[in-house]
A and B are shown apart, each in its own frame.
Chain A
Amino acid sequence: MRRFGLRSRRRKCGVGAILLVLVSISVAAAQDQIVAKTEVYHDSDNTTVVRPSFRIVRNVGPVELGAAYSVDAITTASIDVITQATATEFSDRRQEVTVSLDRSLFGATYGASYTHSTESDYRSNALAAHFSRDLFDRQTTLSGRVGYVRDNVFRILDPRFEEDLTGWGYMAGVSQVVSSTLIVQASYEGAYLSGFQQSPYRFVRFGRFDFHFDGSLPVFEGVTGTRREQHPEERLRHTLSTRAAWYLGHEMALHPGYQFYFDDWGIESHEISLQLLREFGSHVIGRIGYRYFRQGAADFYDGQYVLAPSRYKYVSADKRLGPIEAHLVGLRFEYGIDAPSADLVRLGVDAKIDWNFNRYLDYLFLDDRSALIGQFGFFVDL
């Protein structure tokens, strides 16, 4: 919830740096905004993603027009690729374009957006509409969103293969000023998906097999059969979440949060987060945060399918459907100064670094994975 933030401050880009550096630029004009940033992700499973992105916002009368563009440049030789796909390493590029329109009307804000994204084997088109309205002298804010997405899935080197996935998403939330130092937010979010929801490449091995590397080559012993991954075609997903912003005094605020997820594939997860924010003078904001996440497995997921392939209706080799325990620790700093001229409102830099650790509790090929995610950038408000 950003009801109380200054508009010019909201219009800001953050970018980060770690050993792997991201570059970001942000320029904003009064009520207008241009943002450019890049993020770098690198993990212990040999995956690197470089993600530059741009965003432009232009106000025309009461209407706010927005456009965003991002690119994910992915290079990976992950255990998934080595054991499941057809290559030992691959690179891909994902591009995404979003256009949006927002306007205030009768005390509420309404908006709509369209997003198009492509990869070499994936295409997605999504529409979304949202609203928010302040009530009771701005002590309560109601918000909602509904969206529709249609994806096309392809398989490289197989031009005849094409599958579809459609989905509806919906969200309703409320933010409440509880006291002069406490704001609480609660929301429900759901989604219904129908269509092709598995990997077009991944296949499942059966039997009580062993796995080891011979040099860089994976060796499997005792495999009794293989089958392409097969997931249900329909899925209903739900998330309940709540979070708070609590002013502690001495220019510090605490942000606790909790999220519960469940779906009709049998996955349940709990996420607990805590962030401490502090202002250092009028120029610097620091944030330190921790997030704990634990997810149970889908009903049909098994680390090893020991029966004959025909005995299973659905099978998966996707570790994201298995039980996972994860920790995330993050630091973020933002340095902003007031404008040196009348044309500028504010300028500054921000930097962020996260360390993410995943433990896979029932996945034969990988026990854990750690990742560093960094951002660095600067912004100018005009």
Chain B
Amino acid sequence: MTRRDVVRAALLSASLLLAGCASVQPWERDRLAKRIMEFELDERERALQRVVDKSQYEGMLGGGTTEGSGCGCN
């Protein structure tokens, strides 16, 4: 899969997603409001994971690039 394929797939998926969205009324959102539906259970956990990832891989970005550098990577 080439870089262009991935970008095309991402744009196509986003278009289909937005086009297919149904209107969800507020009283239908009780399951969406559950804590297990949160993408980040703990913001600090995510921040710490970024520090670990940054010290291991150059092929990741994930929100850390402009939030301070230096990682004792030697």
Q: Do A and B bind each other?
A: yes
| B residues contacting the other copy or chain, number (CB 8 A) | 52
Question: Which residue of chain A is the closest to B20 with respect to CB atoms?
Answer: A178
A222-261 contacts to B (CB < 8 Å): 237-240, 242-243, 245, 247, 251-253, 255, 259-261
A276 vs B60: C-alpha distance when bound (angstroms): 23
A126 vs B68: C-alpha distance when bound (angstroms): 5
Interface of B is mostly: loop
Enumerate chain B residues within 8 angstroms of A334, measured Cβ to Cβ. Answer: 41
Q: Are B65 and A178 touching (Cβ within 8 A)? A: no
A334 vs B37: C-alpha distance when bound (angstroms): 15
A268 vs B43: C-alpha distance when bound (angstroms): 27
Q: Are B48 and A189 touching (Cβ within 8 A)? A: no
Enumerate chain A residues within 8 angstroms of B3, measured Cβ to Cβ. Answer: 260, 262, 268
The interface-forming segment of A77-85, A103-111, A210-218, A302-310 is A77-85
Q: Which are the 9 A-B pairs with shortest beta-carbon distances?
A: A147-B66, A269-B59, A169-B66, A122-B70, A295-B59, A14-B42, A4-B33, A277-B36, A191-B65
Could you write out 10 A-B pairs with CB less than 8 Å apart?
Answer: A72-B51, A80-B74, A126-B69, A151-B69, A169-B66, A177-B29, A199-B74, A237-B61, A261-B60, A295-B58
7 new A-B pairs (CB below 8 Å) besides A5-B35, A12-B42? A139-B23, A151-B70, A171-B63, A181-B31, A191-B61, A267-B58, A320-B57
B residues at A contact (CB < 8 Å): 3, 6-7, 10, 13-14, 17-18, 20-24, 26, 28-29, 31-45, 48, 51-52, 56-63, 65-74
